[in-house]
């Protein structure tokens, strides 16, 4: 078993943090995104979408998509639970995971993809759409600050995959000037708490 990843990219970080919280070690193999190694034919055989990370199981099966990889380890190593504990809680955690993914991480990533020099000439960049993403992310951080007024973590009293996605999304916002504002005290308190966990450095 191994994981293809690229340490600087946000999605591989999600999986590394998830594994660290579970106390699981999996060998990592770097695929250099900066050199576009993920677009080479050998890698496209592993994941036709070209995305990272990808989990390779011992029988040769490849699991792409960060949350699908997390699901695999949640099922094989249920403790501590990071994706919910019963039907209702699993649904609540999945709702928050998706909100954090679509409203925060995809927006900071969308800003970067469409505005950074990194993607120049690699994908059709639409700067105006990058601005839409940046504004959406900033608006959502404002909202997330109010959500965190009455709870310790994003999905309630327990740390979950939703916290991982939100932290990784917010931290990636630095690439395009998206950040927690000084008056967003709840968000800042939460961000400090999740950043102080040893897993944040994984």
Shorter beta-carbon distance to its own copies: residue 37 or 89: 89
The least CB distance from residue 55 to its own copies, in Å, is: 8
Whether the CA torsion 142, 175, 133, 16 is positive or negative: it is: negative
Shorter beta-carbon distance to its own copies: residue 110 or 173: 110
* CA gyration radius, the chain: 17
Shorter beta-carbon distance to its own copies: residue 120 or 198: 120
Residues lying near its own copies in the complex (CB under 8 A) are found at 48-49, 55, 57, 61, 63-65, 67-69, 71-72, 75-76, 86-88, 90-92, 94-95, 98-99, 103, 114, 124, 126, 128-129, 132, 135, 143
Shorter beta-carbon distance to its own copies: residue 45 or 198: 45
CB 187 within 8 A of CB 180: yes
The least CB distance from residue 198 to its own copies, in Å, is: 26
- φ, ψ at 143 (rounded to 5°): -65, -45
The least CB distance from residue 184 to its own copies, in Å, is: 16
Cβ neighbours for 95, distance < 8 A, ≥ 6 positions apart: 155
The least CB distance from residue 71 to its own copies, in Å, is: 5
C-alpha to C-alpha distance for 2 and 26, rounded to whole angstroms: 6
Cβ neighbours for 202, distance < 8 A, ≥ 6 positions apart: 13, 16, 17, 19, 20
| Residue corresponding to tokens 């968000």 | 187
C-alpha to C-alpha distance for 134 and 138, rounded to whole angstroms: 6
Shorter beta-carbon distance to its own copies: residue 34 or 61: 61
Shorter beta-carbon distance to its own copies: residue 133 or 167: 133
The least CB distance from residue 124 to its own copies, in Å, is: 5
C-alpha to C-alpha distance for 102 and 98, rounded to whole angstroms: 6
The least CB distance from residue 90 to its own copies, in Å, is: 6
């Amino acid at each position: 078993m191994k994981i293809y990843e690229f340490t600087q990219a946000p999605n591989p970080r999600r999986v590394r943090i998830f594994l660290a919280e579970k106390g699981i070690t999996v060998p990592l193999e770097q695929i250099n995104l900066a050199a576009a190694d993920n677009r080479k034919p050998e890698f496209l055989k592993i994941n036709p979408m070209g995305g990272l990370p990808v989990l390779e199981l011992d029988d040769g099966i490849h699991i792409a998509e960060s949350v699908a990889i997390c699901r695999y380890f949640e099922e094989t190593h249920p403790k501590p639970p990071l994706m919910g504990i019963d039907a209702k809680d699993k649904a609540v955690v999945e709702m928050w995971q998706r909100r954090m993914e679509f409203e925060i991480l995809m927006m900071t990533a969308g800003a970067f993809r469409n505005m950074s020099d990194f993607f120049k000439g690699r994908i059709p960049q639409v700067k105006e759409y990058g601005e839409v993403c940046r504004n959406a992310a900033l608006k959502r951080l404002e909202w997330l600050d109010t959500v965190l007024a009455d709870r310790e973590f994003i999905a309630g009293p327990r740390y979950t995959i939703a916290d991982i996605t939100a932290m990784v999304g917010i931290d990636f916002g630095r690439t395009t000037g998206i950040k927690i504002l000084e008056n967003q005290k709840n968000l800042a308190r939460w961000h400090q708490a999740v950043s102080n966990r040893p897993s944040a450095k994984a």
